[in-house]
Structure 1
Amino acid sequence: MSSVRDIAKISGVSAATVSRVLNNDPRVSEDARRKVLEVANLSRYVANVGKRSNTNIAFVYTGESSLGSPFDAALMRGMASGMEEFGFDLMILDARRARERNEAYSSMFMRKGIRGAVLRTTAQTSSICRQIASEGFPSVVVGARIDEDGVSYIYSDSRKASERAVEHLIGLGHRRIAICLNIVDDSDHTDRLNGYRDALAAADIDFDERMLVRAPAEREGGAQLIRRLLSMSPRPTAVFITDPYTAIGALTEARRARVRVPGDLSVVGFDDAELRYAVYPEMTSVCQDGVAIGREAFSLLNEILAFRPLDRARDTEAPRTTGLEAIQRSMQTWFEVHDSTGRMEA
């Protein structure tokens, strides 16, 4: 592992300058800051002050936290299952709160003893992921697709499975099919919307903007959705809900409003854990394996880090490669039919 003196020698600056950069001191030119951070990232430098841990992998929120979601819990379980072998610890971080004013993200990560980051983002905060990648810090975006050179990601492609879900509803005789999307845009929900539109187009059903409803990705969002559908005239006979908690909230509100599922309304949900089995009726769903995605996210990050398992006694690692090349991979979702969908009643 490189020291401050090693970084200074390679960067062509003094050790004091390296120290100022790593401590976010403003008395450094932008050119020197860029050189030092580039060398520090490539050499996998991590600050080691006192007893501070330098074996951290961070699960980083670039925007609003979704820590309570089943998907995030599954992602972290998957990450943790692969990290122990390599001697890493998991840290949860809010990038906006943890970063000091004018501090480079790389400097912030190094200051906190973080060797690599798994980034949880949305369309509104994806620029932070691009910035982290441009600084050369080892990172992987999880659950979102950012199709740019230099940005590594792992996500589930849900377009085809979403298309099959809507085809299933059409095959049951439904024509007025609503779709519920999160109020926060991301690539996952865009894929699901595109799959929905693909199925409608294949069946010669015109896309109707009135059938697109946005609701928060929470149980109350599902309640809002049902109330919205009940206010429409004529009402939709089926709905594809693209978030797990929203779907559960919708089923709960449907029972409260005496809407029969699937007699009055067929419901296709989305599930990244096993929530589809925990509701009544069991929910027909587009599914992804959040634990597997988390495990793969850490595996990709470990490839970028190019570490062998840590020797805890010496706190050393053996790099297999140099440089940071982006790795971009997708995993497939699948469609399961359960009891929340049925043939449209006359």
Structure 2
Amino acid sequence: MGMSAQRQERSHGSRMITMKEVAQRAGVSITTVSHVLNKTRFVSDELARRVNQAIEELDYRPHQLAQSLRRGRTQTIAVLVSDIVNPFFPQVVRGAEDSAKEHGYSLILCNTDENPQTESFYVSLMIDRRVDGFIIAPSMAPEASLKSLVDKEIPLVVIDRQMETLSIDQVYSDNINGAYEATKYLLGLGHKRIGLIMELEGIRSFDDRKTGWERALKEYGLSTLSGLVQQAGLEIEGAAEAARYLIEGPPQATAIFATNNLMTLGVLRYMKNHSVSCPRDLSVVGFDDPEWAACFNPSITSVAQQSYEMGYKACDLLVARIQGKTSESRAVQLNCELKIRESCAALEPEGEMERPEAID
């Protein structure tokens, strides 16, 4: 326990210290203490020193709620993410948090589980909590929640998934080009049957990655057969089942492009459980590039997003919006980078590999 806390405990027990007591200790008026705390008027260095010394000695803590009501701001930002289990989002939130701290804000984190009703619930709850603004990674059907914020003129920045139906600030990755480069890399290694595993269609980021995959295949004159695209849902187990179909079933894929890190884990789980060697039997490219991708054996070729920068930039944009420093909506697209590692190999001329027994 520090000396100031010890002094407070001896003199005041658990009672909250008041501004009046700080003023008495410093030998100044309550108004002077208020000006020092809120920086609302010039106070001489000597008086400010006495006030700050009294604050330290008494361990005085200003009433944050009262200060927020006077300012009309709570210095808090709500961050809604669509799936907190996804390793992509912690880095996004970390970036937003670092920016928020620099601007004197704190974050409240909410997880929507891709559920529009949960998203609407948290939006309403955070409005009631008087947060100053929102950073939202939208759910599958976010229009109602986002429009309610726009209609109420509550500052908002959307991340990860591009929204073209509303004029709002946005920060997102160049998903189309990232997926295009990944697929083009596999095509350059001789692969023609490249399976795609995505969570769900209708989610903008995954739809864009599918578009990039299709663009690369079409440039090589290849058909984008429906069987090569598998929707896995939100779980690793679904991705493992999708990998099973692509490898054992009619597509007979020689390579798989997994459109986020959870999908990549599902592919790797299937391969481990069924003794499918990477990259000898199957080449794999992931998306998101979590830290474990470089540590895995073999290390996983992956499309890296600027996840930290996404959160940091989103918070910068939001604070500028809260403070009235901008009027036009802004869209920031972040580049992706293909990190080539050990999980892909050139296909043998005949394009065949040893496979498990085919499924019906």
TM-score range, shorter chain: 0.7 to 0.9
Tell me the SS of whatever aligns to 1:167: helix
1:138 and 1:282, CA in 2 relative to 1: closer, same or farther beyond 3 A?
Answer: same
Q: Relative to 1, partners in 2 of residues 1:147 and 1:99: Cα closer, same or farther, differing over 3 Å?
A: closer
SS of 1:301's equivalent in the other structure is helix
Q: CA deviation at 1:328?
A: 1.6
The correspondence for 2:252, drawn from 205, 225, 235, is 235
The percent of aligned pairs where both chains have the same amino acid is 25
* Paired position in structure 2 for 1:22: none
Within the alignment, does 1:326 sit opposite 2:341 as a pair? Answer: no
Q: Does 1:254 align with 2:271?
A: yes
Amino acid at match of 1:175: K
Query: Looking at both structures, which has the greater relative contact order when contacts are Cα pairs under 8 Å and sequence separation is at least 6?
Result: 1
Alignment correspondent of 1:128? 145
Query: Counterpart of 1:336 in structure 2: which amino acid?
Result: K
Task: Identify which of 262, 280, 290 aligns with 1:273.
Answer: 290
Contact 2:298 2:342 in 1 (8 A): yes
The alignment status of 1:138 with 2:150, answered yes or no, reads: no
Equivalenced residue count is: 279
1:182 paired to 2:202: no
Q: After superposition, where does 1:22-101 map in structure 2 within 5 Å?
A: 48=68, 54-61=74-81, 65-93=82-110, 96=117
User: Any runs of at least 4 consecutive aligned residues in structure 1 with deviations exceeding 4 A, and if so which?
Assistant: 46-50, 94-100
| Larger gyration radius, structure 1 or structure 2 | 2
Counterpart in the other structure of 2:17: none
In the alignment, structure 1 residue 160 sits paired with structure 2 residue 177: yes
Q: What is the aligned partner in structure 2 of residue 288 from structure 1?
A: 305
Q: Cα deviation per residue 1:258-296 (whole Å; 9 max; x = unaligned)? A: 111111111111125323113221111111021111101
SS in 1 for 2:163: coil
Q: Is the partner of 1:91 in helix, strand or coil?
A: strand
Q: Provide the residue aligned with 1:311 in structure 2.
A: none
Query: In structure 1, the residue corresponding to 2:173 is in which secondary structure?
Result: strand
Q: CA separation in 1, counterparts of 2:212 and 2:247? A: 25
Task: Give RMSD over aligned pairs.
Answer: 2.7
Cα-to-partner distance string for 1:105-149 (whole Å, 9 max, x where unaligned): 5x7544203001001213422332133123211010110111135
Structure 2 residues not aligned, in runs of 5+: 1-65, 351-360
The corresponding residue for 1:244 is: 261
Q: Is 2:198–2:263's contact at 8 Å kept on the other side of the alignment?
A: no
Report the residue type matching 1:85 in the other structure: E
Unpaired segments ≥5 residues, structure 1: 1-45, 307-318
Secondary structure at the counterpart of residue 344 of structure 1: coil
After the TM superposition, which of the residue ranges 215-224 and 67-76 deviates more from structure 2? 215-224
Aligned to 1:20: none
1:57 aligned partner, one-letter code: I
Does the aligned pair in 2 maintain the 1:98–1:108 contact within 8 Å? no
TM-score when scaled to structure 1?
0.74
Separation in structure 2 between the aligned mates of residue 158 and residue 286 of structure 1, nearest angstrom = 9
- Helix, strand or coil: the match of 1:335? strand
Check whether the contact 2:183–2:216 (CA below 8 A) recurs between aligned residues. Answer: yes
Cα deviation, 1:238-271, whole Å, max 9, x if unaligned, reads: 1111010110221122022011111111111112
For the pair 1:207 / 2:224, whether they are aligned, the reply is yes
